[in-house]
């Protein structure tokens, strides 16, 4: 018997696996939160499946999303990333990744972890929405607007409200699974 999934992922094995195993699962680990933040910034203006298909290449190119290493990338490393056909070679996004790694570590210093900081915006528990159709989910919310503004104030780049709401969905800060999706009550 087939499980009912959110409509956005149906028909693509990679999308379905991502949906079934990761999307909307609450993430409290800083390394994973950073990975999703970087992937979401590269996704800006593109489809998520484009980024998902290049995810392993991103992991290799960006040292497994080790923000300590990324914060210290020099021009030689940045130039090599801009020549890497396995990733999205957007100059502004590559530079933003380096500066976001630095800003990420500053937030860790201030709050003890990035997780404590970002999850504080939802009182450390997921917001459970009741979407009948994935198309009913907004691109932004007042909360993603607030979080986006705070991140920008802290020096983060490519963190507009749409990117941040997608990050909140991916990392389980909001549960936007369709109510009849098998994952809705599991996450």
- Beta-carbon contacts of residue 81 (< 8 Å; ≥ 6 apart): 61, 62, 73, 87, 89, 94
Rounded Cα distance between 45 and 94, Å, is 15
80-84 — which CB contacts under 8 Å span 24+ positions?
Answer: 84/57
Among 8, 15, 35, 40, the one annotated catalytic: 40
Among 16, 18, 22, 106, the one annotated catalytic: 18
Catalytic site residue 119? Answer: no
Catalytic site residue 8? Answer: no
The DSSP H or E segment spanning 32 is helix 30-43
Among 16, 22, 48, 106, the one annotated catalytic: 48
Where in the sequence numbering do the catalytic residues fall?
Answer: 18, 40, 48
């Amino acid at each position: 018997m087939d499980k009912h999934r959110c409509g956005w992922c149906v028909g693509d094995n990679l999308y379905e696996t991502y949906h079934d195993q990761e999307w909307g699962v609450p993430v409290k680990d800083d390394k994973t939160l950073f990975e999703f933040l970087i992937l979401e910034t590269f996704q800006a203006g593109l489809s998520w499946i484009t980024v998902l298909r290049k995810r392993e290449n991103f992991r290799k190119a960006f040292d497994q999303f080790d923000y300590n290493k990324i914060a210290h990338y020099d021009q030689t490393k940045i130039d090599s990333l801009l020549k890497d056909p396995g990733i999205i070679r957007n100059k502004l996004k590559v530079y933003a990744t380096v500066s976001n790694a630095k800003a990420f570590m500053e937030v860790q210093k201030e709050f003890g972890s990035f997780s404590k900081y970002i999850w504080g915006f939802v009182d450390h528990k997921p917001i459970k929405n009741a979407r009948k159709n994935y198309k009913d989910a907004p691109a932004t919310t007042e909360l993603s607007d607030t979080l986006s503004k705070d991140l920008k104030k802290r020096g983060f780049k490519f963190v507009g409200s749409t990117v941040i709401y997608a990050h909140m969905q991916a990392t389980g800060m909001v549960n936007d699974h369709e109510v009849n999706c098998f994952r809705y009550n599991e996450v």
